[in-house]
Structures are given as structure tokens and as C-alpha cells.
Structure 1
Amino acid sequence: MYTTQIMEQLKQEIPTLIVKPNEDLAAYTFTKTGGQADLFVMPTSHQLAAETIKFANTNNVPLTILGNGSNLIIKDGGIRGIVMYLDALHAIKREGTKVIAGCGAKIIDVSRFALEASLSGLEFACGIPGSVGGALYMNAGAYGGEISDVLIEATVLTPTGELKYLQKDQLEAKYRKSSIADNHYVVLEAVFELTLAEPHTIRLKMEELTEMREAKQPLEYPSCGSVFKRPPGHFAGKLIQDAGLQGHQIGGAQVSMKHAGFIVNIDHASATDYMELIDHVQKTVSEKSGVLLETEVKIIGEDK
């Protein structure tokens, strides 16, 4: 009853907002797991995103922001309140040597756009499966590069729905974190400063990194990407492998046989399977090596 009332009020106050009740969230995560959202909304403009945040605040409704779900586990009980899905904000454009991308754009697509524009600097991102918003949120990186290396400005919404422009130094980017996460900002758009280069050179680098990724990562199964942060002085995958956990399985979730730093969904895994396996890996590695693995993947929602 509560959900129906909130949905009707939401449709009345923001009539152009796409609203779906009881939406299955497994379709929106790379692990293919997760329960339902009470209300699932898809803003198609910055204004609609801001209005949704303000509506949630005014009516005291919980609000969860969802990108493309690449480094995320949503629990089997789903998410209460409103889930705002930002995939529709995916425009990419060029201004000189700058590339401006919406939060819903895939960072892979932005790297390909840069290639077509003969702009270098985002080659490292050609295999990162996340969205621009998620990449800024966690300062995503790969093969020696990080988003903060090329990011110069971001447009965000504050937790109260106010528009804010952040310069690079205000993002306070560190290893797999930024001020966006700390301040609960919602990314709307990012500006990347790149450099002109020969398309052939850019393409060769991207092909080289793609080959490395395909050779090492278990892309044939659903997964949430690299599960654990790199502990100082160690590699998470090596610690897991040395602990004898490669191939270990709980339910349908398995420590990848191809790369022990990944947990893959090989047989209709639930989010609970994932979480139990993560917990088992952390405990076992700690017992074997004394190193406590910290999760890189974000876990949200409620237990079933």
C-alpha cells in the first residue's frame, strides 16, 4: 500500500519520469543477482534526476542510485524505497581535446569515442565495464591508469538535489575512492582532458590491453569484476590462490579458475551465495597469510 501511494504521488509530481514498481534488479547487475526495487525510476535529464532526489528528501523515502551494476552486489531481499537508474544519461561529445560524457555512458564507450576522435589518455579504460558515474565514484583504474589521471571536472547533484561543479582537486581522488563517494554526490557528467595522437597508435594500445584482459579475466561468466582491493605489498588473487581457494564454490558462486580475484556466477548463484563465498575467502586468507582482504565490490540492499 505504501509503495502504491508513493508511486502515485511520484507520477503526479514528476509526470515525465519513468516509474516501475517491484522491478527485478538482477537484470541490472553484472552478477545477475539481486531482489526487487520497490520503485525503479529512470530519469532522462539532469532536471528529472534532481527532482527525484528532492522528492525523496521531501517525502522521507529512501533513495538508492544505480549505475550499470558492474562492481555491485544487490542482496536477495532487494532495495526499499526508490532506486534511480541513470543509464539514460549517456550522451558523449567532444570539445577540442576534451571529451564530455554523461554519467550513464559506459566508460568503454567513452574510450572508443576518444579513439575515433584521435584522442589519447583513456586507453586504459577500454576494458573497464562500469559507467562514467561509477568510474568517478570509485576512481576506477586498470593497467597503470586511473580516471583521475584524465578527469578535470564533474557535474554532480548533492544529497539535497542541488547542482554542483567540481574541479579535479575537489574530487580528492585516491585508490578506489573519491570525495564523490564520501559526500554522497550523484554524478551527472564528467569532462576528460585528453591529448591528440595517431589513431593507429591508440588502437594498438587498446588492442594490446584488450588481449591481456581477455587472457586473464573470466569474461565468459557473469561476475562483479575484481572483488577485493589490492592489499599493500600483495596481490589479492595470489593470496586467494595460495590459500587453496581457486575453484572453491558456494551455491552457484565460484572463485574463478581463470583469475582467483574474481567470483563468477556459474550456476544461477544468489547474492547470498556471493556474500557467503566472499566471507569465506576473507576468513581463510586471513588465517593463512594474516592479510585481511577488503572488498572493492559494493554490497547494498536487504537480506531476503
Structure 2
Amino acid sequence: MKLLDLKKEGINLQENIPLSRYTFTKTGGDAEYLSFPKNLDELKRLVKAAKDENIALTIIGNASNLIIRDGGITGLVIILTAMNEISVDGNIVTAYAGAKIIDTAFTAANHGLSGMEFAAGIPGSIGGAIFMNAGAYGGETQEVVDQVTVLTRDGELKTYSNSEMNFSYRHSKVQDTGDIVVKASFKLKKGNKSQILDEMHYLNALRRFKQPLEYPSCGSVFKRPKGHFVGPMIIKAGLQGKQIGGAQDSTKHAGFIVNKGGATATDYLDLIHLIQKVIKEKYNIDLHTEVRIIGNK
């Protein structure tokens, strides 16, 4: 099976498309090939075609905690946002990889199910949340996951239990295996719908107050070092507000880097490297990125 043959068969396949259209930073180079599969069958066929032709394969979710370098991505890029079905069965909520975690959390809330309140303001997809064990306001994805269905690069479907996912801080098994998250189910608890929604609206208001949502950004850039908070270190180091090109360390939340206008991925990366260098010099602490960085230089 050849990749371009799938286009003739009705699968959405585009060539040389700017990925800046899809990233939350509004930066990033072109995808050589880009597809938005609508279902598991299309995803399987795309993965098989890429393997048959030995074409590099990159999977992207909602591109909210992602920097794609200005050189773009060679091979096939699959964005899973069209695979976004969410269903509820008792206290189990199941969502496909492209569903937004916000939508999944509100679906749970509207069914009187508690446990996903922490995710009310996380802009990523379910696949991305599983991939990086996304968390906010004291909660993490791993706390509510029941099981995860993945597609291997060889086209095999597998289902993993929570314990088999090897979750840790901003990490899961699929980062090591390269498996593609297809869907995940979440085991939640019955609760009071209005109380659950009140908590979610409160957390969203807190997020709007604290985070620079008025500008494009990739969310929280750095992982939290044990025993330290990143934002205060950046402020004390005199780096809050520092700008390289169109990328600025946010004056509202020092842990975020925003696109003030016309930023490139290189601007983002140069600013990240500067912050890492200064924090290492001042505090002897290595800052590691939470944001995923991919693509050609």
C-alpha cells in the first residue's frame, strides 16, 4: 500500500502544509505529508502505508504543549483531532485520542462524575494527556485512567491497564514504545453535578487570572524541579519579560513563553536555552522542558 494511493481512496492527505496553522504557539515549519484520519481504520491504513514505504511517522494531538522546529517535519504527520468521540457508560468515560481533555472533563461533569475536575482548563487532547500524564491544580491523568488502547507502529491494537502504562511525572509508557494512543477510559466517582461544575468553573477562572491566555503559547514550558518552583526562579534571575525575536517570557506567568507577534520556533528555543543556561549558572539547577520539541532544525 502506497501513501499517495490513500489520497485517491478518499483519505485526507495533504502535502507541504505549514504546521504553524495547528500549533498553539503559531510557529513551526511544514509537514511533508499531513493527514487527519477520521477513524481507526483510516489511522491503521496510514500507519501501514508509512511503514510499507519506510516513511517517517509523527503523531500529533491538539499541539498545545508542543514546539515544532522551523525546519518542519519530514515524512507523514498525523493529527488525531478528528478522532474525538466521547462516550459514558456508568462511571466509565471513554474518549478517543483526538478528543479534548476539557471536553472529556465537562462530559464527565455533566453526567455527575467526579475525578477530572483538575483537567477543566488543560487545552490538550486525550492522546497528549496520556502521552505526558498531563496534570494541573494537584491532579494528574494517571489518577483516573482505567485503561488505554494503543496502535503499535506494526499495526497491532493493544490495551494496557493503568499500572501497565508506567505513569510518572509528565511521563507514560508510550513515550518509550512509540505506540499511538487510540482511546482511553477513565474510572470516575459519582458526585454532585453542580458542585463538580462549580469546581471546574473556579479552576478555569483561576487559570484565566494567572496564565497569559491572551497570547499564543505552548503552556507551561519547564518541568518542576524537585523542591523548587520554576516561575519564582526565573523572576529572581531577572528573566521575566525577556524577549528574543517575537518570543517573550510572560510578564503574567514566568513559567510561560508567549508569542508576542511574529515569533519563530527558533525564537522560542533560543529563549528556552537562555533561561536554562542562566538558571543553571545561578542555582545549579537543570531545567528540563515539559513542552515536547520535535522537527528538523
Bucket of the pairwise TM-score, normalised by the shorter protein: over 0.9
In structure 2, list runs of 5 or more residues that go unmatched.
none
Q: Distance in 2 between matches of 1:155 and 1:292?
A: 34
Q: Distance in 2 between matches of 1:10 and 1:208?
A: 46
Q: Distance in 2 between matches of 1:234 and 1:180?
A: 27
Tell me the equivalent position of 2:151: 157
Name which of 134, 137, 143 aligns with 1:143: 137
1:122-137 correspondence runs (5 A): 122-137=116-131
Larger deviation, residues 93-102 vs 206-215: 206-215
Q: Distance in 1 between matches of 2:47 and 2:133?
A: 23
Q: Distance in 2 between matches of 1:288 and 1:97?
A: 49
Q: Does 1:208 align with 2:198?
A: no
Tell me the equivalent position of 1:252: 246
RMSD in angstroms over aligned alpha carbons?
1.0
Instruction: State the SS of the aligned residue for 2:74.
Output: strand
Tell me the equivalent position of 1:64: 58
The amino acid across from 1:167 in the alignment is: S
1:94-113 correspondence runs (5 A): 94-113=88-107
Larger deviation, residues 273-282 vs 42-51: 42-51
Could you tell me whether the CA contact under 8 Å between 2:237 and 2:279 is conserved in 1? yes
The amino acid across from 1:161 in the alignment is: G
Name which of 8, 25, 39 aligns with 2:4: 8
Name which of 176, 181, 190 aligns with 2:175: 181
Name which of 216, 219, 223 aligns with 2:213: 219
Name which of 257, 261, 266 aligns with 1:263: 257
Could you tell me whether the CA contact under 8 Å between 1:70 and 1:130 is conserved in 2? yes
Aligned residues: 296
Deviations 1:168-197 (A, max 9, x none): 111010000010111111001010011111
Q: Distance in 2 between matches of 1:208 and 1:11?
A: 45
How far 1:16 sits from its partner (Å)? 3.1
Q: Distance in 2 between matches of 1:165 and 1:203?
A: 31
Deviations 1:34-68 (A, max 9, x none): 11111101111112111211111111001110111
Q: Distance in 2 between matches of 1:8 and 1:188?
A: 23
Instruction: State the SS of the aligned residue for 1:69.
Output: coil
Could you tell me whether the CA contact under 8 Å between 1:7 and 1:39 is conserved in 2? no
In structure 1, list runs of 5 or more residues that go unmatched.
1-5
Instruction: State the SS of the aligned residue for 1:159.
Output: coil
Q: Does 1:300 align with 2:294?
A: yes
Q: Distance in 2 between matches of 1:81 and 1:206?
A: 40
Q: Distance in 2 between matches of 1:218 and 1:147?
A: 23
Tell me the equivalent position of 1:3: none
Deviations 1:127-177 (A, max 9, x none): 101000000000000111111100011110012121111111110100000
Q: Distance in 2 between matches of 1:188 and 1:276?
A: 34
